[in-house]
């Protein structure tokens, strides 16, 4: 970046603080996009497809930051990072709430089959996306994160879409 260490540490006190702020920016952006998708005029099926693809694409675009973040246990961070951890959990809750709201919209207009609690379905979707960290490396994969996101969206929607609608 062309910045010497002393200049950087004038603004940032540690590597952890730098990591925390960079990750916060990405997670906040994802949350804002999730809310934008949730409140759009798109159909619930399209919203869900777009959100799944967007989140997976973001994972690939911000690898390895998201790899580290997904593995971070936000309930077991140092006291110095507890405020950051609380903020991140709140942002995660808001992103999850957008996913839940989209599923509820699909249940309400019957474009998605009611297969169970929207919260459980949302957590399942996040679990699928999150588990990708165990095997996906953008620099060595023969498929892009966006392609993986589209595959996940197709797979998930195939199980949720009402075949008679």
List, as one string, the DSSP characters of 148-161. HHHHHHHHHHHHHB
In a domain, 18, yes or no: no
Confidence of residue 75 (pLDDT cuts 50, 70, 90): low
In a domain, 57, yes or no: yes
Predicted local distance difference test score (pLDDT) of residue 126: 95
Domain carrying residue 59: 41-160
In a domain, 6, yes or no: no
Predicted local distance difference test score (pLDDT) of residue 19: 77
Q: Quote the pTM value.
A: 0.87
Predicted local distance difference test score (pLDDT) of residue 88: 86
Tell me what percent of the residues of the chain surpass a pLDDT of 70. 85
Is a pLDDT exceeding 80 seen at residue 116?
yes
In a domain, 20, yes or no: no
For residue 67, the domain's CATH number is: 1.10.357.10
Domains in the chain: how many in total? Answer: 1
Name 137's Cβ contacts closer than 8 Å, sequence gap at least 6.
63
In a domain, 26, yes or no: no
Number of other CB atoms surrounding residue 37 within 10 Å: 20
In a domain, 7, yes or no: no
């Amino acid at each position: 970046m062309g910045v010497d260490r002393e200049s950087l540490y004038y603004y940032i006190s540690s590597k952890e603080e730098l990591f925390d702020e960079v990750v916060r920016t990405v997670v906040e952006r994802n949350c804002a996009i999730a809310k934008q998708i949730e409140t759009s005029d798109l159909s619930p099926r399209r919203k869900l497809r777009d959100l799944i693809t967007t989140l997976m694409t973001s994972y690939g675009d911000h690898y390895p930051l998201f790899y580290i973040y997904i593995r971070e246990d936000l309930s077991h961070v140092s006291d110095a990072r507890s405020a950051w951890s609380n903020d991140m959990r709140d942002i995660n809750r808001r992103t999850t709430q957008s996913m839940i709201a989209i599923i509820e919209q699909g249940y309400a207009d019957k474009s998605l089959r009611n297969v169970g609690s929207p919260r459980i379905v949302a957590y399942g979707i996040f679990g699928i996306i999150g588990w990708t960290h165990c095997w996906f490396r953008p620099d060595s994969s023969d498929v892009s994160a966006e392609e993986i996101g589209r595959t996940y969206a197709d797979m998930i929607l195939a199980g949720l879409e009402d075949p008679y609608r």
